Each structure stands twice: as structure tokens, then as C-alpha cells.
């Protein structure tokens, strides 16, 4: 009999049908966190099988911006170099290697070295004419070699594995976000009145959509801008940008998570207003404090001292704050108009 009571007490309560004490709230929090973590574990396990595809998707901004960066350097070197010098480099190297091979390799075909020198002369005259052509573009050998420097590198044995686990964890959180946000919002609903809980239920799908939107917004819109700035700034001060795989993944996945959480701002403001905790007037009066708080949050949440990422986070975060106020105002206005008609 006692065991049955204990099981009933530990059973997850429905926050929409019950009023709970402080102890019940703590039990509810524990149960909801366990369920949320289990959903995260399942999502992460699924992403473990699709890790390579996810990595290629996350690396896309880097490869795109790195390609543009190298292309700009190639174009700059083409403008600063003469085609004759470039062609002479390749021609001399090829001719010298061919003559050396003919003289030293017993398996080399019987070719007259004079014929090689004759071809060298014809080729040199051709390249000289091309050099005089304004439409001809030549690229030096060291520029071609720099094209192989696009890949991210690992400087420690465990770096690829650690980065892979970070990717799968964040990806698992994204795909399991509907379940995770449902559990978190249900815990919040347990402390509200029945008429206020419907706003929380409405917030669940919007929280999921905003979280995924925020993560993708950083990866597809903000990350290319930040990477382009860092590449050009490094070039400006004469520092070669050879980034490691682990650092890049940490940078991207952390800010994807931060932007996903930051995009919850409109929903939080809407729920706080509709439940009567904070009025629209109070939100408007606190704008100057909110701006300071936003930049402080951005400074803590982004990799220090990455000022570019801080600004890139602070501006959308404030826009989302204003969006939350606007949504609350529109709903309140609609409700007043409906009350007048009645």
C-alpha cells in the first residue's frame, strides 16, 4: 500500500490540471529535466550517424569565404606579377627536369636534347607573345600551392573526436528542441493560473521554430560575415589564417546555440506580458537598461574578445526584444477591440 502511494507521488503530474506545492514543483522540475535530457540523448544518438553530412554543412560558410579570400589573393598577385616571369618559372623548371631525366634515367626514351631545347625556344616565344596580350592571366606557383591550404587542420590527436562530439550534441539539441522546449514550458505552466497556461502551450511550437531559425540564421547569415572579417583582418596585419578544426567547430556551434536561445526573446516577452507579470509600458521604460544588458549578455555569450560576434548578436537580440513588445501590443490591441465590440 505504501509503495503504491509512493509511485503515485513520483508520477509526473499534469501541470494543466493540478495545483502544486513547492515540493511538487521540485519534483516536477526533476522529472521534466530528466525527460528533456533523454530527448537530447536520443537526438544526439541520431546525429552520430549523420556526423559527416552535418560537418560538411557547418563547414560550408568557411569553405565559401576561404575560397573567396584565396581568389582575391590570386587576383591581387596576378595584377602585381608579370606573365613572362611566371611562364619562365614553369618553363625553366619543366625543361631542366626533362633534360636531367633524359641524361640520367636509363629507361628514358631516345630523344635528342637538341629537340628539347628547340621546343623550349618555341614555347618561350609563345609565352612571350601571351605576356604581351592584355587578356592573358598568369598565376605564380606559390599562389597555386596556397589553394591546398583551405582545409581545416587538427593540431592534437583528440581534436577531431572532440569537435565531432560537439557537433552531434548541438545538432541533437536542435532536432530534439520540440521535445525539450515542451518539457521546459510545461514546467513553467505548472506555476501559472489555468487561464494563463494557454499562452504557454502556444509558445511551445514558436519556441522550437525560433530556436532552429536562430541557429540557422547565425550559420548562414552571420557566420560568413564574421569569417570574412577575420580573414581580411588577418591579411591586413600580415597573419596567415590557418584555423584548426576544433576551434572553428567550437566557434560555430557555440554561437549557433547562443543565437538559438537569443531568438527566444519575443516568446519570453510575450508570455511575461500575457500572464500579467510585466506590462508593455514597463518594457518600454526599460529600453536603455535592456540595451546595456544585451551588450553585457553578448559579451559573455560570445568568444571573448570577439567584438564582431558580440555586435552581430546584440543587434538581432535588441530587434527581437522590440519584436516581442510589438507582438504583445498587437495582441493587446486586438483583445481591446474585441471587448469593445462585445
User: What average pLDDT does range 123-150 have in this prediction?
Assistant: 54
CA angle (98, 99, 100) in 5-degree steps: 90
Exposed / middle / buried, residue 95 (Cβ in 10 Å: 0-12, 13-18, 19+): middle
CA-to-CA distance for 171 and 115, rounded, in angstroms? 63
Q: How confident is the model at residue 140 (pLDDT cuts 50, 70, 90)?
A: very low
Q: Is residue 272 over pLDDT 50?
A: yes
C-alpha cell at 136: 592573358
Q: Around 113, how many Cα atoms within 13 Å sit in the side-chain half-sphere?
A: 9
What pLDDT sits at residue 121?
67
106-136 tens-digit pLDDT:
666 666 666 666 666 666 666 666 555 555 5
pTM: 0.67
Q: Is residue 296 over pLDDT 70?
A: yes
**Which residues does 48 contact at the CB level (< 8 Å), separation at least 6?**
168
What pLDDT sits at residue 100?
65
Task: Give the distance from CA 252 to its chain's centroid.
Answer: 4
CA-to-CA distance for 188 and 182, rounded, in angstroms? 10
For every residue of 294-326, which 3-state class applies, written as one string? HHHHHHHHCCCCCHHHHHHHHHHHHHHHHHHHH
- The helix/strand count (H/E) of the chain reads as 15, 0
What pLDDT sits at residue 128?
64
What pLDDT sits at residue 104?
67
Specify the range with the lowest mean pLDDT, choosing from 217-221, 267-271, 332-336, 338-342: 338-342
What pLDDT sits at residue 144?
44
Q: Is residue 313 over pLDDT 50?
A: yes
What pLDDT sits at residue 81?
52
What pLDDT sits at residue 41?
92
What pLDDT sits at residue 309?
76
Dihedral (CA of 161, 163, 167, 173) sign: positive
What pLDDT sits at residue 147?
45
For the chain, what percent of residues have pLDDT higher than 70? 65
Amino acid at each position: 500500500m505504501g509503495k503504491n502511494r509512493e509511485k503515485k507521488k513520483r508520477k509526473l503530474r499534469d501541470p494543466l490540471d493540478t495545483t502544486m506545492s513547492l515540493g511538487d514543483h521540485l519534483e516536477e522540475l526533476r522529472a521534466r529535466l530528466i525527460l528533456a535530457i533523454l530527448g537530447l540523448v536520443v537526438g544526439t544518438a541520431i546525429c552520430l550517424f549523420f556526423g559527416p553530412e552535418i560537418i560538411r554543412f557547418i563547414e560550408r560558410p568557411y569553405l565559401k569565404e576561404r575560397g573567396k579570400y584565396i581568389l582575391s589573393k590570386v587576383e591581387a598577385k596576378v595584377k602585381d606579377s608579370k606573365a613572362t616571369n611566371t611562364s619562365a618559372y614553369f618553363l625553366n623548371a619543366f625543361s631542366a627536369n626533362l633534360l636531367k631525366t633524359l641524361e640520367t634515367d636509363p629507361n628514358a626514351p631516345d630523344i635528342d636534347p637538341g629537340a628539347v631545347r628547340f621546343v623550349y625556344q618555341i614555347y618561350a616565344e609563345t609565352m612571350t607573345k601571351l605576356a604581351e596580350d592584355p587578356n592573358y592571366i598568369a598565376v605564380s606557383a606559390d599562389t597555386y600551392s596556397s589553394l591546398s591550404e583551405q582545409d581545416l587542420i587538427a593540431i592534437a590527436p583528440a581534436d577531431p573526436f572532440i569537435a565531432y562530439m560537439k557537433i552531434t550534441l548541438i545538432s541533437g539539441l536542435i532536432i530534439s528542441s520540440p521535445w525539450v522546449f515542451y518539457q521546459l514550458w510545461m514546467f513553467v505552466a505548472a506555476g501559472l493560473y489555468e487561464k494563463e497556461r494557454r499562452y504557454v502551450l502556444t509558445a511551445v511550437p514558436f519556441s522550437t521554430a525560433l530556436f532552429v531559425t536562430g541557429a540557422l540564421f547565425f550559420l548562414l547569415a552571420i557566420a560568413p560575415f564574421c569569417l570574412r572579417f577575420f580573414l581580411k583582418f588577418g591579411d591586413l596585419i600580415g597573419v596567415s589564417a590557418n584555423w584548426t578544426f576544433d576551434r572553428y567547430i567550437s566557434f560555430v556551434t557555440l554561437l549557433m546555440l547562443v543565437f538559438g536561445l537569443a531568438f527566444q526573446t519575443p516568446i519570453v516577452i510575450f508570455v511575461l506580458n500575457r500572464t500579467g507579470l510585466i506590462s508593455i509600458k514597463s518594457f518600454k521604460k526599460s529600453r536603455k537598461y535592456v540595451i546595456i544588458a544585451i551588450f553585457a549578455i553578448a559579451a559573455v555569450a560570445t568568444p571573448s574578445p570577439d567584438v564582431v560576434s558580440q555586435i552581430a548578436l546584440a543587434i538581432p537580440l535588441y530587434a527581437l526584444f522590440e519584436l516581442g513588445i510589438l507582438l504583445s501590443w498587437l495582441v493587446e490591441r486586438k483583445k481591446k477591440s474585441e471587448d469593445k465590440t462585445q
